[in-house]
Each structure stands twice: as structure tokens, then as C-alpha cells.
Amino acid sequence: MRSVTSGGRRFGPAPGHLFVSGYVVLLVAFGIGPALYALYLAFTTNMGYWAGIDNFTKTFADFRFLPAVGHVAAYLVLWLVSLTVLVVTLALVVHSVRNRVAGSALRFLYYIPGALAGASSVLLWLFVLDPSVSPVAWLLSAFDLQTFNQVIAPGNLPLIFTVIAFWTGAGSWIVVLYGALNTIPHEVIEAARMDGASALTTALRVQLPMLRKWIAYMLILSLAGGTQLFVEPQLVSQASFGVVGTDYSVNQLAYLYAFNQNDFNGSAALSIILLIFSVACAALFVARGRLFDVD
């Protein structure tokens, strides 16, 4: 299609539109479309009649809802805080390594766990967390954890899920932030050093402020994944033979509504609640991180 010019302005598809067109189609088909359908289900009955906020009040009144929210909230706090502190620190450490071979080896080692993601990673960690076969049984014994059920007690799960998530996801973000650090002009770092700034001062006063947008981007995507906690508690629940319930997370509860109770409207209401929470937190990260500000 040829572009048309009028009054010095150009009309027609730009090359960038072509590049994003495939993503837009998939976003509408598998993102916006299902979200709109879930919104419709959340405000209607199973017969298609208008229900108002009845589905939301029903899920709020469910005795399983608040504990599930608390579990996910505890996990998100631990996950996002550890991600921010440890990933940024490790990225700075890798960036400070001057030896090219050593730096490349570290980045590769950090990235390896990301190749073992999803259910396979959880299954690996179930093996690690079982004191009877774990290679780190001595460490579990140091915390007086002698059996598998003691290790995966509900109170320990937010920390366990944080460790699993960090294992699978932190390496890729270290590589991303390492690349972002490489975009900082070398002259800026040299100027800070010439002014007498130590490595710590340079990291805190120069590098971290210039990583703000990348950190916000990391938190938004990690939050989106964290609110959808499902695979980890589902597999732990099956492995524990009932010690951990199948309603541990909000996503699990939505699954029970849909496929155990045949209540797709209540399940949709729970999904909309998760969506609203995720969008609100993402908006906060965008505002605080000034993600769309032009430098």
C-alpha cells in the first residue's frame, strides 16, 4: 500500500506498523478478546442475565478468598523485593567484571535455570525440598525440617515459591539489566570516578537512577506473572497429598470455581479482580519509574 502525502504530512502504514501488526492481532485474539468475554461473564448469570456485582460479592464472601489473597500478597512482596535487590545487585556485579570471558560465563550461568521453567522446575524443586533425597538435606536439617510435609507447610510456601521463581526468572533479568547498564555512556561513569565517587556511590547515584525505567519494566512483568500463581501450589498440593490445599492461590480458586463448581461467572469475577489489581500496580510502577518519560 502506498502512502499519501497531504500538506507535508504523510499518511499510510509506517514500517513500524508492519512490525507490530502480528503482535496486535495476537493481543486482540488472546488478550483483549478473552478479557472482554470474562468481563461479560463477571456481570451476568450462567443463563446470560444481568447479575450486577453479585458474582463479585459471592467471591468476596467465600471463606477461601481472603486467605488466597493473603498467600499471593505475601509471595508478591517477597518476590518483587528479592527481585529488585538481588537482580540489580548481581547485574552490577557482572557488569563490573572486566574480564570478557568471565563476564560471559557468569551471564550464561545465570541464564541456564531459565531454560528449566514451568512445571519441570517445580518438580526439580520438589526433589530438592524432600529431606529424604535432597542434596541439601543438611541445610534443611539445620532449620529443623526433617520431613517433606514440614518443609512445605503453608507458612513456608511464600518463601519457597519466591526461591523457585527467583531460580527460574532472575537470570534472564540479570542479562536484561546488564544490557541496560551497557547503554550508560562510558563518559558518565568516568566523570563520576574523576570526581572521586567510589564504586558504591557510582552505582547508587549514577547507574541506579539510569536503570529506573528498566527496573520498573521488570517489576511490571514480574508482577503480572506473580499474580497468576498456579502451577507451583498446584503441584505442591498434589505432592503433599492434601497438606497444601488446592485453593492456595486466587488463580487456583478461580480454577475450582470454573471446573469443580461449574461456576464460570464466579471464576470470571475472580479473574477481573486479579486484572484490576495488576493494572493498578502496573500503573503505580509506570508512574514511579517514569517509564514513558522522554529523557
Cβ neighbours of 197 (radius 10 Å): 16
Are 162 and 78 in contact by the 8 Å Cβ rule? The answer is yes
pLDDT tens track for 246-284: 899 999 999 999 999 999 999 999 999 999 999 999 898
pLDDT tens track for 11-30: 556 777 888 888 889 999 99
User: Which of 162, 164, 153 minimizes the C-alpha distance to 125?
Assistant: 164
The residues, any chain, with a CB within 8 Å of residue 82's CB and separated by 6 or more, are 162, 166
Q: Round to whole Å and give the CA distance between 145 and 288.
A: 41
Q: Give bridge partners of residue 4 from the DSSP assignment.
A: 11
Main-chain dihedrals φ then ψ at residue 185, nearest 5 degrees: -55, 135
The residues, any chain, with a CB within 8 Å of residue 128's CB and separated by 6 or more, are 134, 135, 136
pLDDT tens track for 128-150: 888 888 888 888 888 888 888 88
Select the highest-mean-pLDDT range: 28-42, 105-119, 187-201. Answer: 28-42
Q: Round to whole Å and give the CA distance between 226 and 219.
A: 10
Q: Round to whole Å and give the CA distance between 179 and 126.
A: 33
User: In the prediction, which pLDDT does 126 show?
Assistant: 85
Distances (CA, A) of 128 to 69, 140, 163, 233: 27, 10, 12, 16
User: In the prediction, which pLDDT does 197 show?
Assistant: 81
Whether the pLDDT of residue 119 is over 70: the answer is no
Q: Round to whole Å and give the CA distance between 41 and 34.
A: 10
The residues, any chain, with a CB within 8 Å of residue 102's CB and separated by 6 or more, are none
With cut-offs at 50, 70 and 90, classify the pLDDT of residue 295.
low
pLDDT tens track for 199-210: 888 888 888 888
pLDDT tens track for 179-229: 888 888 888 888 888 888 888 888 888 888 888 889 999 999 999 889 999
Q: Which fold has domain 65-289?
A: MetI-like fold (1.10.3720)
Task: Show the cell assigned to 103.
Answer: 563476564
Task: Show the cell assigned to 32.
Answer: 483483549
Q: Round to whole Å and give the CA distance between 253 and 65.
A: 8
Average pLDDT of span 54-68: 95
User: In the prediction, which pLDDT does 16 show?
Assistant: 75
User: In the prediction, which pLDDT does 267 show?
Assistant: 95
Whether the pLDDT of residue 6 is over 70: the answer is no
User: In the prediction, which pLDDT does 9 show?
Assistant: 57
User: In the prediction, which pLDDT does 125 show?
Assistant: 84
CB neighbour burial string for 162-184, b if at least 16 within 10 angstroms, e if fewer: bbbbbbbbbbbbbbbbbebbeee
Are 96 and 106 in contact by the 8 Å Cβ rule? The answer is no
pLDDT tens track for 88-102: 998 888 888 766 676
The domain spans of the chain are 65-289
Average pLDDT of span 32-43: 93
Q: Round to whole Å and give the CA distance between 125 and 133.
A: 11
Tally of residues, the chain: 295
What's the pTM value of the predicted model, to 2 decimals? 0.85
**Could you tell me what percent of the chain has a pLDDT over 90?**
35
User: In the prediction, which pLDDT does 291 show?
Assistant: 76
User: In the prediction, which pLDDT does 1 show?
Assistant: 45
Whether the pLDDT of residue 55 is over 90: the answer is yes
Q: Is 185 left (phi over 0), alpha (psi -120 to 50) or beta?
A: beta
Burial category of 194 from C-beta neighbours within 10 Å (exposed 0-12, middle 13-18, buried 19 and up):
exposed
